[in-house]
Structure 1
């Protein structure tokens, strides 16, 4: 199964030169904990998380109004495409140790998939499998 059914298409983005305070305001306004970071050409160059703001932002506590995202972002390790298989993406996320993956199509940002998105999909798949099992009891052969 591809990512189109699980990805979020209303991706929150910030610019590479936005300040930490501006990013925090976006997080609060949009009620999110991460954003995809775009450069001046609107290319994906990283992800910034609420954890980045807290952990790495402390280093810049005296200059938060001048500290830009570029100083604290998590650089993108990899991206996916809409036709990437969800199970393959889950393996890649595990191997890379990431929880969020931007989805690009021909270089354009189309969405984002989070670990939570994949867990929800897996739970739905398991529910469907359980329903099938309950609906069709196994054939039993009685041997004398």
Structure 2
């Protein structure tokens, strides 16, 4: 199954010069744990709620004067929208990440897929398999 069928298209984005204070507010308002930092429509970094806690609060930076560019993870791993579910899990495992921006053939951001999305898919698949097994059980 291509990740474009699983990815969320409503990605929260921001430019590198946005303050982390504004990023935190945007995450809270949007109920997300990350913001993809973009230059136009191309992802250049990602800032997670954990980055805000460890890099900003942990290093006692001023949130109103610290920008996304100061704390983002640069050159984020991305996945092509036509790649499959297993490629997404492989990339997440290989890079030790839980969020993966999804790009089109031109490298433009079109979505994001998270480990929670993948876990939800697996849970659905397990439930369907259970239903098949239950339906095939002989009655005694």
Q: TM-score, normalised by structure 1?
A: 0.87
1:134 aligns with 134
- Where 1:64 maps in the other structure, the secondary structure is coil
1:124 aligns with 124
Paired with 2:53 and 2:107, the residues of 1 have a C-alpha distance of 30
Q: Are 2:6 and 1:18 equivalent residues in the alignment? A: no
Larger Rg: 1
Q: What is the root-mean-square deviation of aligned Cα atoms in Å?
A: 1.6
Paired with 1:45 and 1:15, the residues of 2 have a C-alpha distance of 9
How far does residue 64 in structure 1 lie from its aligned partner after superposition?
Answer: 2.3
Paired with 1:77 and 1:21, the residues of 2 have a C-alpha distance of 21
Correspondence 1:1-144 to 2 at 5 A: 1-39=1-39, 41-58=40-57, 59-61=59-61, 63-105=62-104, 106-137=106-137
Q: TM-score, normalised by structure 2?
A: 0.89
How far does residue 25 in structure 1 lie from its aligned partner after superposition?
Answer: 1.4
Structure 2: state its 5+ residue gaps: none
Paired with 1:42 and 1:8, the residues of 2 have a C-alpha distance of 16
Paired with 1:77 and 1:26, the residues of 2 have a C-alpha distance of 20
- Where 1:65 maps in the other structure, the secondary structure is coil
- Where 2:66 maps in the other structure, the secondary structure is coil
Contact residue 60 and residue 67 of structure 1 kept, 8 A: no
